[in-house]
Structures are given as structure tokens and as C-alpha cells.
Amino acid sequence: MLIEGLPEYLHEHREEAHTLLRYCLGLGRPFLLQSDLRDALQDVAGEQELPHLADTPLGHTLAVAQEAVLEAPWIYMSVRPRVARWHYLRFHVEAMQLEEISVSEFLAFKERQVTGQDPNAAWMLEVDLGPFNREFPKLKESRSIGRGVEFLNRRLSSQLFHELGKGDQRLLNFLRVHQCQGQQLMLNQRIESVEGLQHALRRADEYLAVQPPEADWDTIGTRLRELGFEPGWGRTVARMRDTLHLLSDILEAPAPRVLEQFLSRVPMIFRLAILSPHGYFGQANVLGLPDTGGQVVYILDQVRALEKEMRRALHEQGLDIDPQIVVVTRLIPEAGNTTCNERLEHIIGTEHARILRVPFRSESGEVVPHWISRFEVWPYLERFSVDVGRELLAELGGRPDLLIGNYSDGNLVATMLAHNLGVTQCNVAHALEKPKYLYSDLYWRDNEDQYHFSAQFTADLIAMNAADFIIASTYQEIAGREDNVGQYESYEAFTMPGLYRVVNGIDVFDPKFNIVSPGADSEVYFPYSQTERRLSGLHDEIHDLIYGPSGEIARGQLAEPGRPLLFTMARLDKIKNIAGLVDWYGQSQALRNAANLLVVAGHVDPANSSDHEEREQIDRVHYLMNEHGLDGQCRWLGVQLDKNMAGELYRYVADRMGAFVQPALFEAFGLTVIEAMASGLPTFATKYGGPLEIIEHGESGFHIDPNHGEAAAGIMADFFERCRREPEYWGRMSLGAVERVKARYTWDLYAERMMTLSRIYGFWKYVTNLERTETQRYLEMFYGLQLRPLSEQVPH
């Protein structure tokens, strides 16, 4: 039994156990969450004077239970005793019997509470990807989750070793497939076998040993080509020899580290396509518009970092080839003051990277002119993928070597393209919507009109299973924490009653998961103390923005400008909880006395918003400002700041010993959090999602619980009060924040890691059956029979 001593306890302490379980049933709710179960345990221990209850096997079970489903006399429970490990139990409260059950039984019981029908009465589709992966190597330890490539390297190098010994040619073939712009790279056809390769390596080494170490391919290439080699081994003779030695070592005994090192030198990635269909993807006037935030910032910074890294690698490999990166997004003819109606746009800060925009088309082929919410893009994506495939090939002059999808829609398009073109696929989620909203799966029908989650979750399942590898920004994104379910983990088992039940949707122990954290652009977000780099030319404008009169783009005028600023900036989505923050602030006299609130979000005039949810939030913020009488203490700016302005604003707030707050109900990663920290702003951020991992509470910032606004306001008020008493405290927190970002969240680290992963997964995909054809076929069926009809139902 998974909780030691539980059956014996139930038997021997029947009365006590009965009291607790009956209490849970007596709450009269069909579902209890983790926090409810913990509260129940505490309540019973207190009311019934059973202080030891938490220390009993039943107490331990409730402490690790994620959810209970109740219908007298039954209580079903999902239990997660360790990160990403799940068990399912049921208690018969009258008979006091306990049984372990399958995930399928647990989900079926859940469905029954929603539909009121016996789940056995009607057939229900069960989605189970488990059988496809049975033969596939999996990580064993939860602490290794997110380090898939290291695991894969270890596992597969021993396999390679074994097979090379049997005369396996795949490594050789792999080294012969590389070409760029019609030029053969690495090896030519003269080398026909592994023995031949070993022989050629020795001859090449002997030859190079007596050449000047700084000589390049032009000098020594003729001889190497006769031996069977082509360019790509290194810019100089010294580097070439080093690479040849790595390969000889692998042929002798492939050690994982050497293999990784060797592969990171093989020229494989010249052309990259990054897919990000929804929102306004542009370089100016877009941030803060609906659906347009961190993903755009992430991709533009990523492109700059990757191009630099690709260029560096190609240079070292001795190749004069320009890397090509194309970001594919949607072309929006009615683009306001953005450039989203332009087909091609050069990406600033790169040599060749560009944005390629392809329009959505209606069934009859007409271009869709207006912006479409990310929740409603589904009916357009199939056709979009076909159009993109064609345009991309033309733009890149051939197939990309890697496709990177972004968010649910981009990952789905990447899936379709990768399949058609036979290219390695990498996914980046940015934000998985399912775990953002409580019961978004169980009560999916209630949300269907507004969010169409049924299509989105189906697309997520398809794309995450199709991907060759997945990049997550944090560990928690994959597998959460001890008492917190990971974002991907939440796709393992769930149900959408009446649609389908997922018993094995994704396995977070799959080596496809890798953590590669994004950074904050250090050219833009640097500490306030680096005075020589500051954009002081913007200070007058910033001053007017913060302290100017209210008007079309601003509400509130700060009556006491000397107070520090508590700053927040986000898209005005409900989940960002800006209205919640205004409410906490309004209710906390201590916080109001300590600091002014500065909000940069959305529009002040709802007429300027095209998004339903945003308009609702605008109205709510107005309402709360009226309700709490905040016009003298809260400044709300309905503007989209360009990043230089945003960067200088963080620092301007830091100059005045202010702080940043990110109050979201859930934040997948939270780029504003690392930007504020990099600028030296003490930062308070939600404990739900990425910030939990980014910030070490009390050292590099503070976690706040958005569900307990009063406590959050208290933490912030105490902070300002302490800084008033102890000014060096502010400096200490500021420094802690800067150091944390420097150590963990930089784009240089990102690019180097990302390129290594791309090469290694590309290699393994080539030499093994990582293709997973069976999975692909199953997913195609799922696409055709589920996602297509669901997408059709979305208004278009």
C-alpha cells in the first residue's frame, strides 16, 4: 500500500478515521481540493480534540492528496506522495474499506459528479499514450526531470557503442548527410565503412599534425578531400584535429560527454523557423495589446541570441555561411499602428533574421482582415500551415533544419509542418492554459463559448506528444514542486466529461523535456546603479507619465509624489489580476500610507479595446478606483511602453526605492519579474507558476499568494516600513534580485544550450527510431477525429 500502515490504521482506529472522512462528506461538496482537505484535517483535529490526527497514516494521506471526489458513502482521492508520482484510492466510509483504483476509475467517478450519469452507461473515449512509450527509455528520478538530453545521451551512447561494434553504419551515414547551399560537409562518399572512417581519421591526423596549426581549409582541404573529408571540422588545423580526435574517441568507445561535445561541433543547423501565429507579432507598439506580451519579447530576444550563437558556431566550424532565421506569424491587414500588415520585416539587432507574415484565410480563401483572439484561431490553422509551408520553403530557399513552435497554436502548426517536411520539432509552451483555470477541463462546457478549451487542450496533447523535444522555462513548468502540480504534469490525466478522458496524456519522465530558461535582455534591463548606461533623456517623459495630470491615457494624479512607487505592468488579462492588486491596495491603509501604486496595463478608455476580457477588466479597475477613492494614490497608465522606456521606468522606480509587484493568479514564467529584478527592483510575485522558482523568498524577492490579498498587502507594507527604518534593507533585496538574474536567466546561456539540444535531438532522431511512427499515426487520427470537428465549432 502506498501510505504505510493505512489499511491497518483504518481497521484499528475505525472511529477516528470515520470521524474525519464523515466530516469531509458532511461538507456537502462534490470536490475538495488540496487546501480544503488540509483545512478539514485541521478542523477535525481541533474540534474533536485529536491533535495527533495529522500524524496518522490517514493524516499523511490527506496531506499529500491533491483532490477528493465525494459522493456518500464514497470518497475517491488522487494522491501525489512525491513530485509527479500519482496514486488513486477510494474509501467506502461506512464499511471503512480502502482500495487502490485505476486513474480511469477515478476520472469516471469525477465525470459522474458533473454529468449526474453513470459513466458505465455510455461509452467514453479514453486517450492513452502510455502503450506507445512502453519500450522507450524514461527517466527514473523526479529530480532528473527536465534534464532529458543528458539522460538520452547516456542511454543512447551505450546503445551506439554496442551497435557500432556490430558494424553499424548509421553514425557514418549521419556524417554524410550534411549539406548546405549545395555544398557537401563533413564527409564525402569516399569513406564507405566505419573501418574506412577510422583509417581516414588516422591518415588525416598524421597529415594535419605537420601543418601550421592556424592554417585553414583553403590550405589543407585538397588533401583532406582526397581522404574523404569535407569542410565543417573547424576553422583552423588545430580545431580540425581536435574534432577528428573527438570522433576517433567515439568510434573507440562512445562516452556521453564526448558525444555531446562532438555533436555540438557538427554543422547541422543553418535554417531555423520559429512559429508564433496569434497576437500582434511586431517590434513596435505591440506589447500590452491583447495576447501580445512575453511570448513576443521572448522570441525576438531568442532570435538575436540564436543568430549570434549560430554565427559563432559556423565560424568555428570554418564555414562562411549566413544562418537564416524566420519567425512566422499571422499577417493582420487591420493592424492599427503596428506593422502586422507587412509581409516581411527585418528583425532589429540581427543580420538576416526576419518576420514572415502569412494571413489567415477563410474557407473560401479570403484573407481575414481583423485581429482574432488566441482562443479562436483554431479553424484557421490547418490552411495556415499549408500556406506557411509553401512560403517558408520559398523564403528560406529550402527546408528548415529545425522548427520551434510557440504556444498551443504555434506548436500545432509546427507539428503539421514537421511531419510534412520531416524536420526536428521543438515546442515552447509559454503558458499552458489548462492549469491556469480551476476545473477548465472538468467544466469545459461552461467555458466553451468564451475560451474553446476543448480544441486547445486537444491541440496541446497532440503537439506535446509529437514534439521531438520540449523546452520549459522552469522545472515547475514540467513537474511542479512537492505540493504543487506541474503545468505539463496536469496533462497526464484529466477528463472533459462527455468528450474524452485522458488516462495517459503526457509523461513528464520522458527525456524530451529540457529546462532552458529565458533571460532578460541585458542591453535593456540593467541595474539602476549603472548610471553611465542610463537613458536619462527619457526622464522628463517618465516623470510626466507618472506625475502628470490624468487624461485620455492616464487616470489618477499622485497627491504625495515623495512616496516610493509600487509598480506593476502587464497585459490586462483577468489572470494577471491587476484589478485584484488595486483592490488589495485600496483595502490596505498601511500600504496606501507607505507607497503610491503605479499600474501600466491595458487602456484607460474601454472604447480603445477590441478584447472582451480586457474591456471587463478596464471597467473593474475603474470601479475599484472609485470604490476605494484611489485617484490621489494610484496612477493608472493605459499605454504600451516600448522596451527602452519600460527598462528605464523600472530603474526610475528603483531610484526612488520602489518595488515591483506581479500579482497574477497564475504566471507561467513571468518575464516582467526577471526584468524588474535585473533592474535592481525588489520584487513581489505570485507563488503560482514560474516566479515561485525564479525568486528565493526573502533573498531575491518575495512570494505572495494572490488568493490572500490582505496578507500580500501586509508583506508589501511591512517591506516598505522596514526599508524606512533600515534603508540598507532595500539595497540588500535589490542586490539579491540582480545577482539571481545574472546567475540563472541570461540569453547567452539559453542560446548555447538550445543549439546543443537541437543538434543532439537531431542526431538521435536520425540514428534511432525516435520518430515514434505509431504515436504519430495515433495522433493523426486524434487530429482528424477530434480536433478538426472541435475547431469547426469555433465561430469563424
The residues of the shown chain that bind ligand LCN, judged by CB under 6 A, are 294-295, 298, 430-431, 473, 667-671, 690
For residue 408, the minimal CB distance to ligand LCN (Å) is 11
One-letter amino acid at 142 equals S
For residue 295, the minimal CB distance to ligand UDP (Å) is 6
- Residue whose C-alpha cell is 496578507: 711
Rule CB under 6 A: say whether 600 interacts with ligand UDP.
yes
Rule CB under 6 A: say whether 287 interacts with ligand UDP.
yes
Residue 288 binds which one of ligand UDP, ligand LCN, none, with CB within 5 to 8 A depending on kind?
Answer: ligand UDP
Residue 572 binds which one of ligand UDP, ligand LCN, none, with CB within 5 to 8 A depending on kind?
Answer: none
For residue 289, the minimal CB distance to ligand UDP (Å) is 9
Which one among 357, 571, 592, 772 touches ligand UDP, defined by CB under 6 A?
571
Would you tell me how many other CB atoms lie within 10 Å of the CB of residue 530? Answer: 11
Our CB check for ligand LCN shows the closer of 67 and 667 to be 667
Rule CB under 6 A: say whether 518 interacts with ligand UDP.
no
Rule CB under 6 A: say whether 670 interacts with ligand UDP.
yes
**To which H or E segment does residue 472 belong?**
strand 469-472
Q: Which three cell numbers stand for residue 249?
A: 574517441
d(CA 573, CA 160): 50
Sorted by sequence, the CB contacts under 8 Å of residue 96 that are 6+ apart come out as 10, 11, 14, 17, 18
Rule CB under 6 A: say whether 279 interacts with ligand UDP.
no
Cβ 754 vs Cβ 264: under 8 Å: no
Q: Which three cell numbers stand for residue 734?
A: 535589490
Which one among 569, 677, 738, 787 touches ligand UDP, defined by CB under 6 A?
569
- Residue whose C-alpha cell is 490552411: 383
Cβ 701 vs Cβ 674: under 8 Å: no
List the interface residues with ligand UDP, window 611-650 (CB under 6 A).
640-641, 643, 646
d(CA 597, CA 400): 47
For residue 227, the minimal CB distance to ligand UDP (Å) is 51
Segment interacting with ligand UDP (CB under 6 A) among 144-152, 176-184, 286-294, 579-587 = 286-294
Which one among 406, 504, 617, 672 touches ligand UDP, defined by CB under 6 A?
672
Our CB check for ligand LCN shows the closer of 268 and 520 to be 520
For residue 671, the minimal CB distance to ligand UDP (Å) is 3
**How far from each other are the two terminal CA atoms of the chain, in whole angstroms?**
52
Residue 641 binds which one of ligand LCN, ligand UDP, none, with CB within 5 to 8 A depending on kind?
Answer: ligand UDP
For residue 222, the minimal CB distance to ligand UDP (Å) is 51
Our CB check for ligand LCN shows the closer of 57 and 519 to be 519
Sorted by sequence, the CB contacts under 8 Å of residue 483 that are 6+ apart come out as 34
Which one among 148, 294, 323, 564 touches ligand UDP, defined by CB under 6 A?
294
Rule CB under 6 A: say whether 324 interacts with ligand UDP.
no
d(CA 796, CA 793): 9
Residue 153 binds which one of ligand UDP, ligand LCN, none, with CB within 5 to 8 A depending on kind?
Answer: none
Segment interacting with ligand UDP (CB under 6 A) among 143-151, 229-237, 292-300, 724-732 = 292-300
Residue 414 binds which one of ligand UDP, ligand LCN, none, with CB within 5 to 8 A depending on kind?
Answer: none
Our CB check for ligand LCN shows the closer of 229 and 469 to be 469
57: left (phi over 0), alpha (psi -120 to 50) or beta: alpha
Cβ 634 vs Cβ 621: under 8 Å: no
Which residue number is nearest to ligand LCN in terms of Cβ? 294
Rule CB under 6 A: say whether 408 interacts with ligand UDP.
no
Rule CB under 6 A: say whether 357 interacts with ligand UDP.
no
Our CB check for ligand LCN shows the closer of 511 and 670 to be 670
Number of residues that bind ligand UDP (CB under 6 A): 18
Residue 380 binds which one of ligand LCN, ligand UDP, none, with CB within 5 to 8 A depending on kind?
Answer: none
Which ranges of 317-400 would DSSP assign to H, the alpha helix?
381-396
Our CB check for ligand UDP shows the closer of 256 and 691 to be 691
Dihedrals φ, ψ of 50, to 5°? -125, 65
Residue 176 binds which one of ligand UDP, ligand LCN, none, with CB within 5 to 8 A depending on kind?
Answer: none
Letters for 98-127 (x = contact with ligand UDP by CB under 6 A, - = none) are ------------------------------
Taking the CA atoms of 41, 46, 47 and 53 in sequence, report the sign of the dihedral they define: positive
Give ∠ CA 701-702-704 in degrees, rounded to 5.
Answer: 150
One-letter amino acid at 60 equals H
Go through the chain and tell me how many residues it has.
Answer: 796
SS3 602: coil
SS3 103: helix
DSSP bridge partners of 155: none
Q: Of 319, 176, 357, whose CA–CA distance to 240 is shortest? A: 319
Our CB check for ligand UDP shows the closer of 61 and 679 to be 679
Rule CB under 6 A: say whether 293 interacts with ligand UDP.
yes
Dihedrals φ, ψ of 662, to 5°? -125, 95
For residue 380, the minimal CB distance to ligand LCN (Å) is 21
Our CB check for ligand UDP shows the closer of 58 and 646 to be 646
Our CB check for ligand UDP shows the closer of 317 and 746 to be 746
d(CA 370, CA 577): 27
d(CA 408, CA 520): 23
SS3 412: helix
Which ranges of 2-129 would DSSP assign to H, the alpha helix?
6-12, 14-26, 34-47, 57-64, 103-115
d(CA 396, CA 388): 12
Our CB check for ligand UDP shows the closer of 56 and 295 to be 295
Our CB check for ligand UDP shows the closer of 583 and 675 to be 675
Sorted by sequence, the CB contacts under 8 Å of residue 73 that are 6+ apart come out as 25, 92, 93, 94, 95
d(CA 340, CA 286): 9
For residue 761, the minimal CB distance to ligand LCN (Å) is 20
Residue 759 binds which one of ligand UDP, ligand LCN, none, with CB within 5 to 8 A depending on kind?
Answer: none
Cβ 371 vs Cβ 343: under 8 Å: no
Dihedrals φ, ψ of 428, to 5°? -125, 125
For residue 670, the minimal CB distance to ligand LCN (Å) is 5
Which residue number is nearest to ligand UDP in terms of Cβ? 293
For residue 428, the minimal CB distance to ligand LCN (Å) is 7
Our CB check for ligand LCN shows the closer of 432 and 508 to be 432
Segment interacting with ligand UDP (CB under 6 A) among 15-23, 31-39, 171-179, 293-301 = 293-301
Residue 526 binds which one of ligand LCN, ligand UDP, none, with CB within 5 to 8 A depending on kind?
Answer: none
Q: Of 115, 35, 121, 110, whose CA–CA distance to 76 is shortest? A: 110
For residue 390, the minimal CB distance to ligand LCN (Å) is 29
Our CB check for ligand UDP shows the closer of 250 and 600 to be 600
Q: Of 479, 474, 476, 408, whose CA–CA distance to 440 is shortest? A: 408
SS3 367: strand
SS3 308: helix
DSSP state of 188: -
Residues that bind ligand UDP (CB under 6 A): 287-288, 293-295, 297, 569, 571, 600, 640-641, 643, 646, 669-672, 675
